[in-house]
Structure 1
Amino acid sequence: MFLRSRRRAVVAATSALAVMLGLVACSGDDSDPTEEISANRAGAMESYKVGDQFKATEPVSFSTLLLNNANYPAKKDWLFWDELKKRTNVTLEQVEVPGSDYNQKRSVLISAGDAPLIIPKTYHPDENAFVSSGAILPVSDYIDLMPNFKDKMEKWSLGPEIDAIRQSDGKYYLLPGLHEKAWQDYSLVVRTDVLQELGLSEPKTWDDVYAMLKAMKAKYPNLYPMTDRYSQPKPTGNLWNILGSSYGAPGGWGFNHAIWDASAGKYVYTAASDNWKEWVTFLNKLVSEKLLDPESFTQTDDQARSKIATDKSFVITGNAQALVNDYRPDLAKNPKAQMKKIPLPIGPAGEVNPSSRLENGVMISTKAKDNKNFVAMMQFIDWLFYSDTGQEFAKLGVEGTTFTKDASGKAQIVDDINVAGLHPKATKHLQKDFGFYNGVFAYGGNPELVQAFFSPEEQEYQKVLNARPRAPWVVPPPAPFTDEEREQATLWETTLRDYVDQQTLRFILGQRPLTDWDAYLGELRSKNMDQYMELQQKAYDRYKKEHG
C-alpha cells in the first residue's frame, strides 16, 4: 500500500537531497545575472554577505504593494518605516490595498503593467498566473545577490521544498518565506475536565481518539462527543486536512489532486488512493456510531461553537487562536470546563509534522531588473526578509523601545505594549501603533522567533510537534505544467475536486456504502482522472529529464 511505501522511501529521499540541493545552488539555469545587471548597482553595497547590516550607499526608494490589514491599518508615522529607513537608507513607497481586495488588485496591477517593484504577501501557486506573460521576474536567477536567503535555504535543507515551486523552465518566480521548522497549528481541542472525569489520558493516536469518543458517548449517550467547524464553503476543510495528513493523503485545506508514490516512482490521484479510503472509513465509523456530529460537515462556525459552549459536544478542531479567542471565552460561564489543544494525533503515516516550511513570499516585477538600484533592492529584500536581524526587526521592533532581551538573549516585548494578548492592559499595541509584526514583512525564521509571542502552553505544544521527524514526510518532486497543460489541468481539476468532495461526504455520512468504492473510482475515471494523472506524470518525467 502507498502509505507504507512512503516509509521505505525515506532513505532514497534523503539520498536525493544532495542532488536537489545541487540544483538549488545553481539557481535553475546557467545565466550570469552579474553581467546582465552590471549597470544597475547604484546604491548597492560592494561587499554584502551573511550577517552584514544592509545599508544602501545612497538614499533609495522602492515601490511595494502593501496589504492593509483592517486589524492594524497602516500609518505613515509607524516606527517601522522610520527605523527601516535609518537602518537601510531605503524608503518604501507604499501602494496600499485592503486585505479583502488584495489578490484581485494585485492581478489587475500586474496585468496592466502597473505593479510596484516589490510584490509581497503572495502564496504559492498564485505566482503561476503571471509567469507566462513575463510580468514577474524568475527570482532564482538572482539569488546569488541574496546571501541570507541562500544560507537559510542550504542550512535548513530546504532544497526539496524550493524545487517543488519551480516552473517547467526549472526556475522559480516566488521568494518564499522560510521556516527552519514546520509549524503545525491546527489539531483537536478537547475538554480535559471531561477526560479527568472519565479517567482518560490525552489521546496520542487517532485510534486513541476513537476510544476517547466511545468513552464519552458511553457516559453521555444523548450527545455527540465531537462536533466540528470550518465547513464553509467546503465541508470540514480542517478535519479532512489534519486527519488526511495523518494517513498520508490530505483532504480539505491541504488537498492536492496528486500525491507522490515514492516506491513506484510516480504520482497517484490522492482521492483514489488506499490512504484516502482509510481515513474516509474512519470518519464513516465515527458518524455511524454517533461519535461525530453529522452536522459538522455543513454547519457554520457559530453553530459549532455554540454546541461546545453548551456542553452538547466536548471535542472540536481548532488552533491556538481559536482556543484562546473562541472556545475558552465561550465556556467562561462554566467554571469547571477546561479545554486544551492536544498534539496532532498520530496516524498510519507516523509521527509526521505535515506543515510546509515555506510561507507566503515575494514576487518581483520584471521591470525591476532595469532599475538602476536593482542590486541594492535585492540586497535589501534579502536583509529584511531573510537575515536574522531583519527578521527580528520586522517582528519585534527596536530593542530597548519595543522589546528587551534577558541575559540568555531571549526577547520579551516591553510591558506597556500588547501583542497577541500578551499584555492585555498595555496602552500601546505592537502592530497598531508601531507597525511591527506586520503580516506583509514578518514571517518565517527559526522556532525561537516564530514562537516569540506564543503562550507557554502553545510553546509546549510546538515542542512536541518539533520533536517529530520530517524525514517520513517526503516532499514530492517537481512536476510543473506548461502553460497549455495548466489550462487543461485546471478544467479537469475543478470537475474532479467538486465530485471528490461530494462523494467523500456521502461515504462519510453513510449516504453511499463503502462497498461502492470501486464504482466511485470508475466515476473519477469518467471525469478524466486518468488523463489528468498522465499529464501530471508527463510533467514530472519532462522536468526530471531536463533538469535532473
Structure 2
Amino acid sequence: MFQRVRRRAAVVAAGALTLSLVACGSGDDSEAEDLSANRAGAMSELGVDQQFKATEPVSFSVLYNNHPNYPLKNDWLFWTELNKRTNVTLEPVAVPLSDYEQKRSLLIGAGDAPFIIPKTYPSQEDVFVSSGAILPVSDYLDLMPNFKDKIAKWNLAPEINQRRQADGKFYLLPGVHEKPWHDYSLVVRTDILEELNLQVPKTWDDVYTMLKAMKAKYPNTIPFSDRYSQPNPAGNLLNLLAASYGMEGAGWNFQHISWDPTGKKLFYTGASEQHRQMLTYLNKLVKEGLLDPESFTQTDDTARQKLANGKSFVISGNAQGLVNDYRPDLAKTLPNAKLTKIPLPIGPAGEINPAPRLENGIMISKKARDSKNFVAMMQFIDWLFYSDSGQEFARWGVEGTTFTKDASGKHSLAADVNVIGLNPKAPKHLQKDFGFYNGVFTYGGKPELVQAFFSPEEQEFQKVMNARTPRAVAPPYPFTDEEREQVSLWQTPLKDFVYQATLQFILGQRDLAQWDAYLAELKGKNMDAYMDKVNEAYERYQKEHG
C-alpha cells in the first residue's frame, strides 16, 4: 500500500506540534455549522473505540476498487456482519482496479461520485479541491474521536499538516500507522554469502564489497540484476537509494522537492549533491560489471529468470515477492539456494526508516454534507477505519469464524482459512471468500495489527527497520490554484529530463564530469522558477498557518 507515496510531512518543534494539533481541531467548523438536520441515524455521542451503531438503518454509497485477486461478491460475510454491527448497508459502486483513477475522476467530474471515495493517494485530491467537489474533512474532526485520538497519541500532527491545502484545511482522510512500515529492500542469495564467508551487508558500501566478491568468484555473472523497470526504469532501486541518500524519492516515487532537515530548506531533488552521489554510486556498479545495465529496461520476468538460472544473485523486492516469486522460481532450478530480504542498506542519510506513517485514504463527496445521515456517516467512517475494533474487523473478520484469539489477545487465522499462504491447504480464503483484509477498507493501525499476517522472518525484518529513526518529514508548501496551474506546466518536462539524464549518467552514456552542464539545462527548463514558487508557497503557509 505504500508504493505510491507522493509527499512526506515535516519535523516540527514540540511547541509547533501542539499548535498543529490545535489546528487540526481549529480547522474543525462542525461546532459552528448547524448539523441538526443531518443527524438522522447518528449516535448522540461516539466515544473512542466505542462500537458505532446507527440508531436507524442507513446506507451509504462507496466507490469500490474491484481487485482481480478477490473480485467483489455480494454475499461476503464482511457485508452482512458490518450491517449487523453498525446498522449500515454499504452500496458499492464497483470500478475495475485498472480503471479506478480514471473512472473516479469521471464520476466526480459529472457529480455522480458516491459519498465515500477510498483508495485515494496523497496529492490526487488536489484537482478535486480546486473544483469544490470534495469536502474539507478537517472541518468535521469533532465527529471523528478515533481519528483525533490516534493523531494525538501517535504524534502524527506533522504528517497530517503536510496534507493541508493553501487554505489550511485537508481534504483526504489518510490511513494512519503508529510506526513506519517499510517493505522493499534487496533480496540476496545468502548461500552465496556463506560460500564467500561474507556477512549480510549493512551499508551500500558493504553491498558494493559483496558484489565485488561475487563477481570475483563468478566472473561470468552480473551479480545484481533488477526488476521493476516498467513504467519507470529501475523504479524500486532508485527509490531505495534516494531514501538512503537523503532525498524524498526517485524512480517510481519520483519527487521534485526534498527536505534538508539540517539546513531546514527545500531543494530540487534532481539537482542536488545527494542525487549526484547516488548516480556516481550506480555508475560505478555498472562500470565494474556488478549491476546489470539491462536492469533499467528488462521485464520483471526476465529479471526473475536470471535469478532463477544463477545468472544473478541479487534483486530488489518485497516480502510477497520473496515468498510468491523468487523462492518458488529457485525451488525449480536451484533447490539448495537460499534467499533473504535484507534490511534496507544504510547510506549517507544514516540509519533511518524511510517509510511514511500515512498512506492512501478517503475523500468525501461534497454532496454528502447535505445528507440527513451525514453525521452518522462520519461516525461510521471513524469507527470502521480508525477505531481499534473497526480495524480488527476489517483485517481479521469475525472471531470464531475467520480467526481465534487466545487469552493473551494473540490472533490466529481459523484452521480452514488461508491468506498470504499462512494456511496454504485451507479450503477458504479470507479475502476471496469472506471479503476481509480488503484494500478498500483495511488501513493502518498498530504494528501488531499491520504485521498480523507477516511471517516470523518478515517480523524480524520489521523489528530491525522499526528500531531505526523515522525519516524527517518535509514541511507543507501547498500551491494556490493559479500556482498549481503554472507549476504543472513545468513539472512534466523537468521530470522527463531528470529521468533521461539519470539513466544516461548511470549507464555511462553521459559523463558525470558534465554535471554542471546538466544543472544549466535544468535551469533552462524553469527549475529556478519552479523552486521560487515552492518557496513562496512554503513561506506563505508558515506565515498564515504556522
- TM, length-normalised to structure 1: 0.96
1:319–1:341 Cα contact (<8 Å) kept:
yes
Q: How far apart are the structure 2 equivalents of 1:93 and 1:17?
A: 43
Q: Deviations over 1:482-536 (max 9, x none)?
A: 1111111112110011110110111111111111111110010000000000010
1:87 to 67, 73, 85: 85
Q: How far apart are the structure 2 equivalents of 1:379 and 1:501?
A: 44
Q: How far apart are the structure 2 equivalents of 1:28 and 1:432?
A: 39
CA displacement at 1:35 relative to structure 2: 3.9
Answer yes or no: is 1:545 the counterpart of 2:538: no
Equivalent in the alignment of 2:7: none
Counterpart mapping for 1:272-311 below 5 A: 272-311=271-310
Equivalent in the alignment of 1:23: 20
Letter in 1 for 2:469: P
CA displacement at 1:407 relative to structure 2: 2.2
Q: How far apart are the structure 2 equivalents of 1:410 and 1:183?
A: 20
Equivalent in the alignment of 1:255: 254
Residues 40, 422 of structure 1: CA spacing in aligned structure 2 closer, same or farther, 3 A cutoff? same
CA displacement at 1:328 relative to structure 2: 0.7
Letter in 2 for 1:299: Q
Q: How far apart are the structure 2 equivalents of 1:104 and 1:268?
A: 32
CA displacement at 1:263 relative to structure 2: 4.0
Q: Deviations over 1:82-103 (max 9, x none)?
A: 1101111111111111111111
CA displacement at 1:34 relative to structure 2: 2.9
2:27–2:168 Cα contact (<8 Å) kept:
no
> What is the count of residue pairs matched by the alignment?
534
Counterpart mapping for 1:424-443 below 5 A: 424-443=424-443
CA displacement at 1:197 relative to structure 2: 0.5
Q: Gapped runs of 5+ residues in structure 2?
A: 1-9
Q: How far apart are the structure 2 equivalents of 1:30 and 1:177?
A: 19
Letter in 2 for 1:412: S
Q: How far apart are the structure 2 equivalents of 1:517 and 1:122?
A: 37
Q: How far apart are the structure 2 equivalents of 1:253 and 1:345?
A: 19
* Counterpart secondary structure, 1:132: helix
CA displacement at 1:30 relative to structure 2: 5.2
Q: Deviations over 1:144-201 (max 9, x none)?
A: 1101001111111111111111111010000000011111100000000000000001
Answer yes or no: is 1:99 the counterpart of 2:94: no
Equivalent in the alignment of 2:372: 372
CA displacement at 1:49 relative to structure 2: 1.1
Q: How far apart are the structure 1 equivalents of 2:81 and 2:202?
A: 46
Answer yes or no: is 1:474 the counterpart of 2:472: yes
Equivalent in the alignment of 2:417: 417
1:20–1:163 Cα contact (<8 Å) kept:
no
1:17–1:159 Cα contact (<8 Å) kept:
no
1:29–1:170 Cα contact (<8 Å) kept:
no
Equivalent in the alignment of 2:175: 177
Q: How far apart are the structure 2 equivalents of 1:62 and 1:147?
A: 20
CA displacement at 1:15 relative to structure 2: 5.7
Q: How far apart are the structure 2 equivalents of 1:234 and 1:284?
A: 18
Q: How far apart are the structure 2 equivalents of 1:176 and 1:258?
A: 21
Counterpart mapping for 1:165-244 below 5 A: 165-244=163-242
CA displacement at 1:386 relative to structure 2: 0.2
CA displacement at 1:206 relative to structure 2: 0.5
Q: How far apart are the structure 2 equivalents of 1:296 and 1:272?
A: 24
Q: Deviations over 1:234-275 (max 9, x none)?
A: 210100000110011231122210112334443110011111
Q: How far apart are the structure 2 equivalents of 1:362 and 1:15?
A: 25
Counterpart mapping for 1:321-470 below 5 A: 321-332=320-331, 333-470=333-470
CA displacement at 1:17 relative to structure 2: 4.1
Counterpart mapping for 1:39-58 below 5 A: 39-58=37-56
Q: How far apart are the structure 2 equivalents of 1:420 and 1:491?
A: 43
1:17–1:160 Cα contact (<8 Å) kept:
no
Letter in 2 for 1:261: D
Q: How far apart are the structure 2 equivalents of 1:376 and 1:83?
A: 18
Q: How far apart are the structure 2 equivalents of 1:225 and 1:190?
A: 10
Q: How far apart are the structure 2 equivalents of 1:491 and 1:228?
A: 33
Answer yes or no: is 1:313 the counterpart of 2:341: no
Counterpart mapping for 1:150-161 below 5 A: 150-161=148-159
Q: Deviations over 1:296-331 (max 9, x none)?
A: 111111111111011000001000111111111111
Q: Gapped runs of 5+ residues in structure 1?
A: 1-12
* Counterpart secondary structure, 1:190: strand
CA displacement at 1:125 relative to structure 2: 1.1
1:176–1:362 Cα contact (<8 Å) kept:
yes
Q: How far apart are the structure 2 equivalents of 1:500 and 1:125?
A: 21
Equivalent in the alignment of 1:5: none
Q: How far apart are the structure 1 equivalents of 2:316 and 2:150?
A: 33
* Counterpart secondary structure, 2:13: helix
1:139–1:364 Cα contact (<8 Å) kept:
yes
2:245–2:348 Cα contact (<8 Å) kept:
yes
CA displacement at 1:70 relative to structure 2: 1.1
* Counterpart secondary structure, 1:420: coil
* Counterpart secondary structure, 1:423: coil
Q: How far apart are the structure 2 equivalents of 1:240 and 1:166?
A: 28
* Counterpart secondary structure, 2:117: strand
Residues 14, 502 of structure 1: CA spacing in aligned structure 2 closer, same or farther, 3 A cutoff? closer
Q: How far apart are the structure 2 equivalents of 1:46 and 1:309?
A: 60
CA displacement at 1:31 relative to structure 2: 5.6
1:185–1:319 Cα contact (<8 Å) kept:
yes
CA displacement at 1:38 relative to structure 2: 2.8
Q: How far apart are the structure 2 equivalents of 1:378 and 1:204?
A: 46
